[in-house]
Amino acid sequence: MTDPALSVEGVSFRYGDRQALHDVTFAVQPGEIFGLLGPNGGGKTTLFRILSTTLPVQQGRATLAGHDVAASPDAVRRTIGVTFQSPSLDPKLTVGENLTYQGHLYGMTGATLKQRCDDLLNRLGLSDRRSDIAETLSGGLKRRVEIAKSLLHEPRILLLDEPSTGLDPGARHDLWRYLSQLRSEAGVTVMVTTHLMEEAERCDRLGLLSKGELVALGTPDELRTSVGGDCITVQPVEPGSDLPTRIRERFEVDVQEVDGAIRVEREQGHELVRDLVAAFPNAVKSVAFGKPTLEDVFIQRTGHHFWDEEPSDS
C-alpha cells in the first residue's frame, strides 16, 4: 500500500487550560483532495498551523511526505506549499514582483525562476496581470496570486486555510476547478480547511472537526449514507414537553433533541411524517423532511448544530 502523503497520529494541543485539539488521527493519500470541515473554533486552524510548522507539536506525531514535522521542520517546509487565510501579498508590489520575491525565499533565481513564474501565471490565468499592483486586484485574483506563490517551488503537498475567504461564487468555482486540475495533472496532494458545506462537497474525503475532536471521516457520500435514512425535524408546540418521549415510544425510533427541536432519522421518512402528524396533531407545530446533508452528519455526531460551537481558535 502507498505511504500516505500526510499523516496525523494522536495529535493534541492546548492553549493554557483550553484543549484545542484532542487525539486527532487521520491520513491523506497522495493525489487526494482532503478537507477538514468544521465551524470556526473547531480546531481547524490550530491543526493547520501545526502541519505548516508554525506551531509546535505538543503531543502526537505528524508527517508530510515522510518528513516528521517536529524532527525535520525544514524538510517539511521544502515539501509543502501554504496559503494562509490571512493575505500574504505585498499590496504595493506588482503580481510579478510578489512572485519573484517569493521565489528568492526558496533560492530560485534567473531563467529558472522566470520560467516558473511564467508557467504559473499562465496556468492560473494571470499572465495579463503580471504588472498590476496587488492592492488593485479583486479578491478572487488576489487568491490566485496567493496560490501561485505557494506553488512556485513545486511542492508535493498544498495546504490551504479557508481558501474561499472573500471570494464570490464565480471565483470560488474557478479556484476549485484549478485545484482539481492541479491534482489530476501534477499529482499534488491538497489539504483544505473550510467551514463551507458546499466547499466540503468538492473534496475526495473529509474529516469533521468539532471542539478539537475528529468526529467523522470519509467521503461526502459515505458520511451522508452513515446517517441511515431520511432526516425529520419536528418543532413542538411546547418546547420542553414530553413529545420526544412519546414519539420514541410510539414509533420505536431514536430521537435527538437539538435546540428545542426534535430530530429523527428513518427510512421512508415521508411515511413517518404522515403518521407522526396524525398521532400528535395538537403537539406538532411544524415538520421538515429531507435527505441527509453534511450538516445532518455533524448534528448526529455532536448533538448540536454546526454553528453552535463556542469559538476557540479561528
Report percent pLDDT > 70 for the chain.
Answer: 96
For position 250, which CATH number holds?
3.30.70.260
For position 19, which CATH number holds?
3.40.50.300
- Please tell me the predicted confidence (pLDDT) of residue 311: 47
Q: Which domain holds residue 67?
A: 6-223
Residue 126 in domain: yes
d(CA 30, CA 193): 17
Residue the block writes with cell 428513518: 266
Q: Is 124 in contact with 144 (CB distance < 8 Å)?
A: yes
Among 174, 200, 223, the domain boundary falls at 223
Pick 185 or 191 by higher pLDDT. 191
Residue 302 in domain: no
Q: Are residues 217 and 241 in the same domain?
A: no
Residue 309 pLDDT grade (very low, low, confident, very high; cuts 50, 70, 90): low
- Please tell me the predicted confidence (pLDDT) of residue 41: 83
Q: Are residues 264 and 215 in the same domain?
A: no
Q: Are residues 126 and 196 in the same domain?
A: yes
Q: Are residues 39 and 187 in the same domain?
A: yes
Residue 306 in domain: no
Residue 304 in domain: no
Give me the number of domains the chain comprises. Answer: 2
pTM: 0.81
Q: Are residues 254 and 174 in the same domain?
A: no
- Any idea what DSSP says for residue 211? T
Q: Are residues 277 and 215 in the same domain?
A: no
pLDDT tens-digit series, residues 69-104: 999 999 999 999 999 888 889 999 999 999 999 999
**Dihedral sign of CA atoms 11, 13, 19, 20 in order:** negative
Residue 99 in domain: yes
CA distances (Å), origin 65, targets 28, 173, 300: 10, 28, 34
